[in-house]
Amino acid sequence: MKRAIALTVPLLIFIAVLVPIIAAERGLPVNARSALDNYIAYRRRIEGAALQTQLIVHASRPWNFTPKMSAVAIGDSARYQTAYGFSGQPLAIPTPGPPGTVDVLNEYAPHPGDGRMPLPFPPEDVWCVRLDTGQQNFAVVFVALHQDLYNGAWIIHEPTSGLEEALSAIGCDLK
């Protein structure tokens, strides 16, 4: 009995260490890849941008991703509030500004009575993606798995102006 335990414990430790390493090396999960592909197609349709994926990095600290790091959330979630779906149609309502100003889209405000809930933060998983825009520069997006007890959805976040700080906080090196 002691010998079985002595052999089993190291094996379990080995498996516990090896499985996350293998999972991390497999790359972007299938549903996250689908969301990214839909986002790229959406951007090509809206802007005519010739986006191509340059680099994908798994965030080592996804729990540090906050709503302030996201300028806009894009996704086709039936459960969670996003500003736009991949069709490009606004899914949020304009937030009225002072008289004489242009209304600003509040990406987390739902349509009246649509029943969708705010994105749960922090996300369970985050991937940082550098996209080649074809114009000697690049764009960065975050592909985040937002999940509650019952559902989950991969949502694309376009970053705010504090991109370098966000990348550092969540542990993504896109250089």
Q: What does the alpha-carbon distance between residue 12 and residue 9 come to, in Å, rounded to a whole number?
A: 5
- Into how many domains does the chain fold? 1
Strands 104-110 and 70-74 turn out to be: unpaired
- Judge whether 17 lies within some domain: no
Q: Which is nearest to 140 in space by CA: 65, 53, 58, 28?
A: 53
- Judge whether 154 lies within some domain: yes
pTM: 0.74
140 DSSP β-pair partners: 130
Q: What does the alpha-carbon distance between residue 22 and residue 9 come to, in Å, rounded to a whole number?
A: 20
Give CA separation, 9 vs 21, 60, 84, in Å: 19, 27, 49
- Judge whether 145 lies within some domain: yes
Range of the domain at 149: 28-170
Tens of pLDDT along the chain (175 residues)? 666 555 565 554 555 444 444 444 469 999 999 999 999 999 988 888 788 999 999 999 999 999 999 999 999 998 999 988 887 766 655 555 555 544 444 444 444 456 789 999 999 999 999 999 887 788 999 999 999 998 999 999 999 999 999 999 999 999 8
- Judge whether 175 lies within some domain: no
Please, are residues 125 and 28 in contact by the beta-carbon 8 Å criterion? Answer: no
